[in-house]
Structure 1
């Protein structure tokens, strides 16, 4: 994963203590790291990065209330929430679920972009695009329809791994991603007719009705809480006979939760209801893990739906 986001306090001594605290955190000496962070915060009370890391440490130590207080200070000190403190607050049950802060997603993937493919493919064993391609081919065969699409939209396109997997099946791809760093990497592939820096929902909202034949989202919906809104727009944008295919992480319960990896996990019944509400027909909903964490497959689903 990318290097830790750091926002300077403006106080050199406080910044140094933060750096020493991070070293101690990496070594597993959480109590000493927390002590140094408290010292840094005394020097710079609005030190967002220090409050955020202190929240992580308090959460790791099982000190829930102290963690919540620290994450709130981090979020309140940076309303755009570049560190993603609000996600921890959701995970701790201190706040209700909502979509991820855009600034957090942008910062995360702008840092990640230069080594994204290496980390995802080699470190995490990522296999989302190939699973999606297999599911789409199978669904089209079952429907006795060709698996070739003239106009494709790659939501959360990243560096272009999804478009690469579908290159022989899509005539023209538009890529949409919130990270300018990812868009830069995707542009270098030459796989896209057009690329846009935008979140998925707004990227779809500007498209005309029936203007796409395939909408793809490989490992992107895990950063969206409200899938229903995205799928409703996808249903509008798809031409009759068009297909939407995406992967999600999942869990055994109902609705949506924040997983250990700070990504959303969607229950099967939630996905089915969102697809039905969007006026789409479910073609496939298959258990499949798109990535590993700690060498353990993360539970997931591959979903294919069509517009009649």
Structure 2
């Protein structure tokens, strides 16, 4: 999901120079494109999109120091970091892992909303909600309890894929997402009792303690470096016996790393420990890929945890 937003410099000549550079970049003429992007930033020194794209091109050319300098300029010109320059700096080892900017995520998913399902499901074979449903059914079967939930919460609900998967398993499901564009499409499904544009931890803080029987987080923790605040609220909001079901991306090392797709991958042991530190009990943890990229499955986890 590359971010391809364009924020005009306000200078027609600089914007035109950017367009010429973009054409060269798309043709693979990276050195010539770099030259024109530099010209665009010379004409408009606070041209956010030109600085960011210059960083991308320099990274492709193998100029790490030049890419870092350009991404830092983009970040300085736009403290809201709508392009995600800070994430590029993390990937280049020039900044420590940090929370993803809310404005970046909102911009990304508002842009992505119109083609979200076609791109994610049809092109990347996304199967997160079906993996969650299978895991929740298996967890309930193991304890001989019905897999039916009076009130469910869908965190990062997107266009409503998880609600579709769990529609026959819930009396009511509510959804939260940062992106107004995603919420608009989720509302069109008619599957939600309520929907809200909100950051998920803030949204959970407004929920009553013990008010949910099931909390779904399909591909949510991939945008979180620190899951502890989320898990603390999940524990508070879940009723006794309630379940948290989530998918995550993972890696074979320790801790949390930012992957090439600009998503956080959590080591299985790290995520397991964080969930249990929050007071939840892990009932199921399996390695399963929720999506493919470049024709290969992205290493992932499916986890179901319970509040005892």
TM-score (norm 1): 0.98
Contact residue 2 and residue 112 of structure 1 kept, 8 A: no
- The answer to whether the aligner puts 1:83 opposite 2:83 as a matched pair is yes
Aligned pair count reads: 308
Residues 223-232 or 7-16, more deviating:
223-232
SS in 2 for 1:284: strand
Unmatched runs of 5 consecutive residues or more in structure 2: none
Partner-residue secondary structure (3-state), 1:260: coil
Show the counterpart of 2:111.
111
Q: Deviations for 1:250-272, whole angstroms, at most 9, x for unmatched residues? A: 11111111001001100111101
Cα RMSD of the aligned pairs, angstroms, is 1.0
What corresponds to 1:92 in structure 2?
92
Question: Could you tell me how far apart the structure 1 residues matched to 2:27 and 2:124 are?
Answer: 23
**After the TM superposition, which of the residue ranges 124-133 and 19-28 deviates more from structure 2?**
19-28
- Distance change >3 Å, CA 265–CA 2, structure 1 → 2: closer
After superposition, where does 1:17-166 map in structure 2 within 5 Å? 17-166=17-166
Q: CA deviation at 1:2?
A: 6.7
Q: How does 1:254-265 map to 2 (within 5 A)?
A: 254-265=254-265
User: Could you list the per-position Cα deviations for residues 79-136 of structure 1 after superposition, in whole angstroms to 9, with x for gaps in the alignment?
Assistant: 0000000000111111111111011101111011111111111111110100110011
Q: Distance in 2 between matches of 1:23 and 1:172?
A: 49
Matched, 1:185 2:185: yes
Question: 1 CA distance for matches of 2:2 and 2:95?
Answer: 26
SS of equivalent to 1:203? helix
1:244 aligns with: 244
Residues 146-190 of structure 1: CA distance to partner in whole angstroms, max 9, x if unpaired? 110000000000000001000000110110000000000000000
- SS, match of residue 82 in structure 2: coil
| Whole-Å separation in 2 of the counterparts to 1:23 and 1:222 | 32
CA contact (8 A) 1:2 1:111 kept: no
The answer as to whether partners of 1:90 and 1:97 remain within 8 angstroms in 2 is yes
1:197 Cα deviation from its structure 2 partner: 0.6
Q: Give SS of 2:244's match.
A: strand
Shift of 1:273: 1.1
CA shift, 1:29, in A, is: 1.4
Query: How far apart, in 2, do the equivalents of 1:2 and 1:192 lie?
Result: 29
3-state DSSP class of the match of 1:196? Answer: strand
User: How far apart, in 1, do the equivalents of 2:246 and 2:20 lie?
Assistant: 42
1:44 & 1:117 partners in 2: Cα distance?
Answer: 37
- Report the Cα distance in structure 2 between the residues aligned to 1:37 and 1:74, rounded to whole angstroms: 13
SS at match of 2:167: coil
The aligned runs of 1:216-295 (5 Å cut-off) are 216-295=216-295
Could you say what secondary structure the match of 1:33 adopts?
Answer: helix
Q: Judge conservation of contact 2:3–2:83 (CA < 8 Å) in 1.
A: no
> Is 1:206 equivalent to 2:203 in the alignment?
no
Q: Identify unmatched segments of 5+ residues in structure 1.
A: none
TM normalised by structure 2 equals 0.98
